[in-house]
């Protein structure tokens, strides 16, 4: 019984430490990046390289994904305001049936954005991959990120770690009910980001040849 007691006691300490770590990393990431999340109207300049982070264009039930649609709307708005020089569309391309960058390009072109200012990053399997590849593969040290507010914090935190000059434009979030599962997952993803950057030294799954993009 004593052994069981000590095992349970040790596990309880581990659980408490995990909770403290998750809460602490979330506070750290949010507080250190919230000032870099700006509204689309406050984005200055006309030669911004914009990184749109990928997500599926459809939900599991086949209906349109509001996260995807709102990122596209935000990207199209910035273009219409004359604030975009080039788009990098970064996402997962795991099979011929699931291709986030391709679907983003199709949606942006439908919104009137020319293909000539769009570059697809098919190896953006995770947020870390998308951010690091925008610097190392596409030679961008200054970027404007488009994603939902909850995701902006982590993307900016990774950018800061890699000494990039980044701001984020927050796309509109869906209803709380639609986003609840994503919010919960993001709390753990922020803790994982700290482990990836500072402990595990995680690098992108794929790198490859450089492809320069210049502001026009």
Instruction: Report residue 48 as tokens.
Output: 């911004």
Backbone angles phi, psi at 138, to 5 degrees: -100, 5
The per-residue pLDDT for range 141-184, each reduced to its tens digit, is 999 999 999 999 999 999 999 999 999 999 999 876 667 888 99
Whether 207 maps to a domain, the answer reads no
Instruction: Report residue 115 as tokens.
Output: 């293909």
The per-residue pLDDT for range 40-77, each reduced to its tens digit, is 989 998 899 999 999 999 988 899 999 999 999 999 99
Cα separation, 39 vs 14, in Å, equals 40
Q: How many domains does the chain have?
A: 1
Report the run of H or E that residue 72 belongs to, with start and end.
helix 66-80
Q: Which of 215, 141, 148 is nearest to 182 (CA)?
A: 148
Whether 133 maps to a domain, the answer reads yes
Whether 116 maps to a domain, the answer reads yes
Q: Rounded to two decimals, what is the model's pTM?
A: 0.93
Supply the CATH number for residue 152's domain: 3.40.50.620
Degrees to nearest 5, angle at CA 66 with 64 and 71: 115
């Amino acid at each position: 019984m004593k052994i069981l007691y000590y095992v349970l006691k040790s596990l309880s300490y581990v659980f408490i430490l995990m909770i403290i770590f998750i809460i602490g990393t979330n506070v750290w990431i949010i507080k250190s990046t919230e000032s870099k999340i700006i509204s689309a109207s406050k984005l200055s300049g006309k030669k911004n390289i914009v990184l749109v982070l990928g997500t599926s264009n459809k939900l599991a039930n086949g209906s349109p994904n509001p996260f995807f649609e709102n990122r596209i709307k935000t990207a199209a708005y910035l273009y219409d305001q004359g604030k975009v020089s080039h788009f990098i569309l970064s996402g997962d391309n795991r099979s011929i049936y699931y291709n986030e960058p391709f679907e983003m390009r199709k949606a942006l072109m439908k919104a009137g954005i020319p293909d000539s200012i769009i570059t697809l990053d098919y190896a953006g399997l995770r947020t870390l991959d998308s951010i690091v590849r925008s610097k190392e593969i596409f030679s961008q040290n200054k970027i404007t990120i488009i994603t939902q507010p909850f995701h902006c914090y982590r993307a900016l935190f990774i950018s800061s770690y890699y000494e990039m000059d980044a701001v984020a434009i927050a796309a509109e979030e869906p209803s709380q009910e639609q986003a609840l599962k994503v919010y919960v997952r993001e709390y753990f993803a922020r803790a994982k980001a700290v482990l990836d950057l500072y402990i595990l030294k995680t690098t992108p799954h794929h790198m490859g040849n450089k492809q320069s993009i210049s502001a026009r």
